Amino acid sequence: MVFRILQRQNAAKFAVSPFYFKNSSRVHAQAFSTGAKFAARTDRLAIRRPITDRSRYAYSIHTAAGKELSEKCSLFWKSRRWRRIAAAVAVSLGIGTYTVCNYDTAYLVAASMYRSSIAAKATFKVAWDYYLNFPDLPDEGDESTSPEECQRILEARSAVHLRAAEVVKQALMKNGGIYIKLGQHLSAMQYVLPAEWCSTMQALQDKNTASSVEELDLVIQKDLGKSISELFSEFDPKPIGVASLAQVHRAVLRSDGQEVAVKVQHPMVRTYSDIDIATVSVMLEFVHSVFPEFQFMWLGTEMRESLPQELDFRTDKSNAEQVGWNFSRHADIPLTVPRMLRATERVLVMEFVRGQRCDDLNYLRKHGISPASVSREIGRIFAEMIFVHGFLHCDPHPGNLFVRPRNPAETTHGYNFDLVLLDHGLYRRLPSRFRYEYAEMWRALMRGDKKQIVYWSHKLSGTDLYHLFSTILTGQTWETIESKSLTAATGPAQLDFSSMRTKQPDLVRQITEVLASVPPVLRLVLKTNDLLRMVDQKLFADQPPSVQQHAQMLSWLRTSHYCLVAICDARASDIKHSQSRRGILQTTTRITRLLTNWFSFWLYDSALSVYSLVLYLSMASTRLAFLWSRLFGL
């Protein structure tokens, strides 16, 4: 302001009037007190000297003390020290003020940074371990490497896999929530990940940290408007099950005394979801930049699409009601879907159904339940979902499939058990065109028709790696498929992908390329298939290989039946639509085509039924022989 005043004055007045300058010391003191204290008193003649600056004119007073202080000030302001001090003070004041005014947000930021640092540390540690200690396999035909050296290399690679998987598992368990969900997904990717990774991650199916009852009470009060004691006359503090996103408690309603299961979301899962998904995506991008052959960025995209549905329990309720209605017409299928009573975003109250995990072999033996029957009915249920209903439960791990003992005389299906389907948060609707193409692909695989396999594989996956896509889909080698032996009990019950990766170093890159190219809905179908295979492996863990092979073949035949159903329905729909579009087909022609379509289905399905009966009897005789040998030591 002082400079503006000086500029407004007449320049000649400053030049000819020493009296003005002598009596203007107060003005100079105000103008230069912050940077030049020497202007407190001006007894000498001040010389007006224009200096080129941002202002039109600037003025300074030249004295020895003034020059010295001016130089010091100039050096200080030109240095970076004052900027660092000012920045530190500003940041400290800003953080302090923001924390006081927005404590919850500040806590969220700090917690998110901590969780992200755990994920980043694990990612860097694993990447560094692989970079330094993971040996390359010798080239095929390289005779310079001895068998002992090859074995040492394989052991070193396995050790790195185990260390890396354990580091990642500990990080996922420490963060919990969505990270546990990611680990569960990785445990099913046996065709991509080494066996050491899959076996390590399978522990995450059960190891989830439970929230306290006090924390759950806050969630219930916020969502339902009442506390636990007001809503329930009994509330078991020990959870029945703890999952990655929620946990379930047994309770009794105070209103009518009904026994219920209460599913409550972990308090901070929704809060951390966005930052956790972003962190996972960044970490996957980093892994891809270090190891370009790993193309798993779609995992982050899939989580971003699926998680909002799983975090809203109202979606869980509507999905359960839909799947219950779909199977209400199938009295011969032993499926029970708990009745949903009340749902909010984070709290779900449902009918309480007693039972145990489907892979608990001791529980099955105790109640006289056949693991083979459990496996067969699980396969039927999910084949119905995929090929007929087009409404698929995409998370069928053993914790979501319970077995409840029943008296066969009291049931319509004739079995001594019910299958209880839980956790209805993750479903996908399969379009009719997709179901038809998927059924045609399976039909071609069953026949070993290479031409049709190539065609439908490209239609479904958009890739030319048909042999690899077929292997992922069936879990069998291409040689088994091409030799038309898929429905013959000759091959292994489950393909060993670890040995394949050892023999084909480029296999992982090709598999990730296939998974990155397929549509998202097909990836979820493949994931569902993998989880169902894992359930079958556990159900037949104590059975001889021949029984496992027969069970696998029966599974293929059951799939073939539902493929025929889907194809027959699609063709019948095309016949009806062609009639409505053109209007030139006579009624008799239309009826003839429909009858031909139905007869073709009946003919093939009858052949499958006969073959299934033969395999079933063969499996029964093999099991009897196995039991006889164990009883009498033969």
Beta bridge partners of 234: 252
CB 558 within 8 A of CB 565: no
Residue 533 carries which side chain, given as an amino acid letter?
Answer: R
Concatenated DSSP letters for 52-114?
Answer: -SSSS-------HHHHHHHHHHHHHHHSSHHHHHHHHHHHHHHHHHHHHH-HHHHHHHHHHHH
- Distance, CA of 122 to CA of 142 (rounded, Å): 36
- Distance, CA of 441 to CA of 563 (rounded, Å): 9
Residue 392 carries which side chain, given as an amino acid letter?
Answer: L
Concatenated DSSP letters for 25-48?
Answer: HHHHHHHHTTT-GGGG---SPPPP
Residue 544 carries which side chain, given as an amino acid letter?
Answer: P
Is residue 395 among the annotated active site residues?
A: yes
Closest to 406 in 3D by CA, of 421, 419, 393: 419
Phi-psi region of 462 (alpha: psi -120 to 50; beta: other; left: phi over 0): left
Q: Which residue among 312, 359, 395, 418 is the active-site one? A: 395
Interacting residues of 363 by C-beta distance below 8 A, sequence separation 6+:
356, 357, 369, 403
- Distance, CA of 278 to CA of 300 (rounded, Å): 8
DSSP type of residue 430: P
Angle at 560 between CA 557 and CA 561, to 5 degrees: 95
- Distance, CA of 422 to CA of 208 (rounded, Å): 17
CB 310 within 8 A of CB 395: no
Interacting residues of 591 by C-beta distance below 8 A, sequence separation 6+:
none
**CA-to-CA separations, 513 to 134, 191, 441, 525, in angstroms, rounded:** 22, 13, 20, 17
DSSP type of residue 356: E
CB 376 within 8 A of CB 407: no
Phi-psi region of 176 (alpha: psi -120 to 50; beta: other; left: phi over 0): left
- Expressed in angstroms, the distance from the first to the final Cα of the chain is 109
Closest to 310 in 3D by CA, of 379, 240, 400, 398: 400
- Distance, CA of 273 to CA of 229 (rounded, Å): 30
The catalytic residue positions are 395
